[in-house]
Amino acid sequence: MIETLVVPLVKIAVLLVGILTAVAYLVLLERKVQAWVQVRLGPMRVGPHGLLQPVADVIKLIIKEDITPARADRWVYTLAPIIVLVPALVVFAVIPFGPETNVFGIRMPLHVADINVGLLYIVSIASLGIYGTILGGWASNSKYPLLASLRASAQLVSYEVAVTMTLVSMILMAGSLSMVEIVESQQARGLWFVFAQPLAFFIYFVGGLAETNRAPFDLPEAEQELTGGFHTEYSGIRFALFFLAEYANMIVIAAVATTLFFGGWLRPFPSVAALGLLDIVPGWIWFLLKTFVLLYVFLWVRATLPRYRYDQLMRLGWKVLIPLAIANVIVTAIAVVVL
Amino acid sequence: MTIAFYTLAAFILALGVLVVSTKNTVHAVLFLVANFLCVAMLYVLLQAEFLAVIQVLVYAGGIVVLYLFVVMLVNLKRGPETHVDPRRRDRMGLLIGGAVLAEFVAILLYGFAPRATGAAPAAAAPGVGNVEQVGWSLYVDYLVPFEVASILLLVAMIGAIVLAKKEP
Amino acid sequence: MTDPHPVTATRTPVQFDTDELVINMGPQHPSTHGVLRLILRLDGERVVDADVVIGYLHRGIEKLSENRDWTQIVLLTDRMDYVAAATNNLGYCETVEKLMGLEVPRRAQYIRTVLAELQRLASHLVWLGTHAMDIGAVTVFLYCLRERELVLDLFEEYCGARLTYNSMRVGGLPADLPVGWDRKVREFCDIVDQKIVDYEQLLTQNRIWLERTRDIGVISGADAIAMGFCGPPLRASGVMRDVRKDEPYAAYEEFAFDIPVGAAGDTYDRYLVRLEEFKQSTRIIRQALDGMPEGPVMGKVPRLIKPPAGETYHAIESPKGEIGFFIASDGKSLSPYRFRVRPPSFCNLQVLPKLVRGHLVADVVALIGTIDIVLGEVDR
């Protein structure tokens, strides 16, 4: 009973709270990192060094007036933020944060579920989030959001192909779709897959930037062009849901990248016995650390690069990334068979 | 298990009805997505996780997005076509409806008919996930039909591009 | 109030019979640089046509000037191009001096040149920052404003104001330079020369920047002249026209500087031209500070400024382009009989529809940025 019902529920609760807190603080981190890059201080007023800013933000967003445009499609308008958020949170279920550990004498794997199609599950669930984006823009009954949501959907659909292709080559390497087994395969080989598949990682990362609408691919919410993007008409808590989903998706992309390319919970150089000292640090800390570094790169890129234009983005996706990804799959497949 | 199945089945049917009965096409597409998701859950119940995930990935996440695109972009508030003889549509509907009904009856009869051979679907070999099973049947048992189907789709795709492309 | 510019869609026969999408951009829009309003007709994301609607910041400065005395008008010119108030002051004062035949002391001429070039730096910094931000490079914006802040500090020390300077008078300057000011200006020039390298590292060779600016909004030299383009955008199209060289005013005749000229006439060239102008401006400022003559900063001006009857036109090179003042005096009253400005932003803005046609929505904001308009000057 405890094993089958209570433990998963507790894990889900811990995970949800953890993700939501992480998202709130990721927003703060983004503002801080951007400010530091731009020779500013960032939020400083709420709490020491603005550390309580997320709390203030959340309270503000919750108590703000929740506006529905007069001619909006009321149901779809309400549904859209939920459709965006739920997949972003649900995919965390299969991400292994660490190896099996003992917590109060209970053997507990540090993931909610290890299903044998884990990776595909992530891809398929993540692909549902796009509905919220499209419908949010459409239901607002406003031109800028509509334009933005069209951009968003075209962008997501095309970059999903490239990202999924890189995942295919990772599956070939690991010989499994299960996230846990992919990490274990890296352990067995004593090699983070990023060193075996640098190109795949590059494509995955660029595609990930595009899929999460991050700079330089933040066209769907290019405030300089579209005054805010598909959520222009949203306010208050519904806007917060969109916001939450975007950052949760960022964490997903980083966490999946960590699992697939950076050995998940493995310590650096897992094959070098001389570094055994590093095993003192528990696996989940390594995992979080790697995810954090990747997230930092997301923020760094945003502070540095200008934005692509819509057609250039499409060209990059279809004419560069997808052919590269397909070529990578073919080469990987040959290598796996031959070696 | 049975309760879950019938609940899902009811949902699937209800959503299917909603898809064709709702006036707003975007809503119809939404119901269709919900319908597909319920079907995916049905697959999970049948322990075909791979199929479920693919159902979500390809249908709910991929194809219906394109439907949504078309529905949103094309103005569908066109008046009914008056020049067509309304009777003709009735006759067509009767014909198609009859055909579908006949098919259903045939399936039902077939389903309830006592099996002569009683060959139940082979139970999954222990240790072999359903990804492997699908892989074996697609790429070993039915390789040629699979490839033929893919070429057929490719041809259709190229045809669509040729048709859609304007004269240079 | 009825809208004088009703937003209407026209149907064009396209294969799939899709309607054109008409969107209204501005006057409240984050990247129309103020209160510019554009009515864009889109085919997908491609701009079929654009209507520019102006007048949201019209304060009637020209008419107002006909009811103010000659000294008060300096204050009004501050409020036209509020990003480059000192050059407006300079243009107006020189026009009145020309009308009255006043002699301005050499020291005042030198200081005016320094102020005008500092102003050019400040204005170009705002331009670079906002232009880069429109294309998505937010960091450049904050870097540029950081340097602009230094210019504002210098102006504050000189005349006490940070935006609307009122920094010149008919016949000279309100005050001599503060002690040690020239050293600070030199330090600032060094800083700017260093920081430009930073900006160039962030943008000039950046692939995304190149893709976003190259071949965007191309206009040939002949077209540019025909449309009344002026300033850096005109020079980017390969036309050698700079009032500082062609009809030297203030002390420009005495300094060596180059006029950068582009070739392609696209957004990237306009960017390069302005970046080069940064370097030329610091060059001019250094020469002026080196050769700063001694003497008074105010010429012999009658207590009551009252130009003789007549009219004149005088133009100078503001950061945005050629700003000209046409002033007619009836010789009797204490205010101009007719006051008219040829604003560079206004003249450059009329090219915008031609530039954006055929480009994508994202390019529209890049093109608004590249022509560097200030709505206060467009509407006056």
The pLDDT tens digits of the residues spanning A206-230 come to 888 888 877 777 766 666 666 667 7
Taking alpha carbons only, the member of B40, B36, B41, B1 closest to residue B15 is B36
Closest chain C residue to A36, measured at CA: C139
User: Is B165 touching C (CB cutoff 8 A)?
Assistant: no
Range of the domain at B141: 132-168
Give A314's contacts in chain C (Cβ within 8 Å).
Answer: none
Q: Do B166 and C15 touch (CB under 8 A)?
A: yes
% of chain A beyond a pLDDT of 70: 90
pTM: 0.79
* B136 and B68 co-located in one domain: no
Residue B74's pLDDT band (cuts 50, 70, 90): low
Give C15's contacts in chain B (Cβ within 8 Å).
Answer: 166
Give C142's contacts in chain A (Cβ within 8 Å).
Answer: 38-40
pLDDT of residue A187: 80
Residue C38 forms beta bridges with which residues? C25, C52
Per the domain annotation, does B119 fall within a domain? no
Per the domain annotation, does B90 fall within a domain? no
Which of A305, A313, A315, A320 best probes binding to C when mutated, by most C CB atoms within 10 angstroms?
A305
Query: What is the tens place of the pLDDT at every residue in A49-89?
Result: 888 888 888 888 888 888 888 877 788 888 888 888 888 88
Q: Which residues of C358-380 are buried (b: 16+ CB within 10 A; e: fewer)?
A: ebbbbbbbbbbbbbbbbbbbbbb
Q: Do B73 and C18 touch (CB under 8 A)?
A: yes
When CB atoms are compared, the residue of C23, C211, C360 closest to A144 is C23
Query: What is the tens place of the pLDDT at every residue in B94-107?
Result: 888 889 888 888 88
What gap in Å lies between CA C122 and CA B18, rounded to an integer? 62
Long-range contacts of A81-84 (CB under 8 A, 24+ apart): A81/A132, A81/A136, A81/A231, A81/A234, A81/A238, A81/A239, A81/A241, A81/A242, A81/A245, A82/A132, A82/A241, A83/A128, A83/A129, A83/A131, A83/A132, A83/A135, A84/A129, A84/A131, A84/A132, A84/A133, A84/A136, A84/A241, A84/A242, A84/A245
Domain boundary (B74, B100, B120) is at: B74
Which segments in chain C show pLDDT lower than 50?
1-2, 9-17
Residue A337 in tokens:
């068979």
Residue A102 forms beta bridges with which residues? A107
In whole numbers, what is the pLDDT of chain A averaged over residues? 81
What gap in Å lies between CA C339 and CA A231, rounded to an integer? 47
% of chain A beyond a pLDDT of 90: 0
Query: What is the tens place of the pLDDT at every residue in C137-185?
Result: 888 888 888 888 888 998 888 888 888 888 888 888 888 888 888 888 8
pLDDT of residue C7: 52
ipTM of the complex: 0.76
Domain boundary (B56, B74, B92) is at: B74
What is the tally of structural domains in chain B?
2
Per the domain annotation, does B81 fall within a domain? no
pLDDT of residue C208: 84
Long-range contacts of A78-82 (CB under 8 A, 24+ apart): A78/A238, A79/A132, A79/A135, A79/B30, A80/A131, A80/A132, A80/A133, A80/A135, A80/A136, A80/A139, A81/A132, A81/A136, A81/A231, A81/A234, A81/A238, A81/A239, A81/A241, A81/A242, A81/A245, A82/A132, A82/A241
Domain boundary (B44, B74, B104) is at: B74
CA separation, residue A334 to residues A169, A291, B138, B146 (Å):
11, 31, 20, 22
Residue A87 in tokens:
């997949």
In whole numbers, what is the pLDDT of chain B averaged over residues? 77
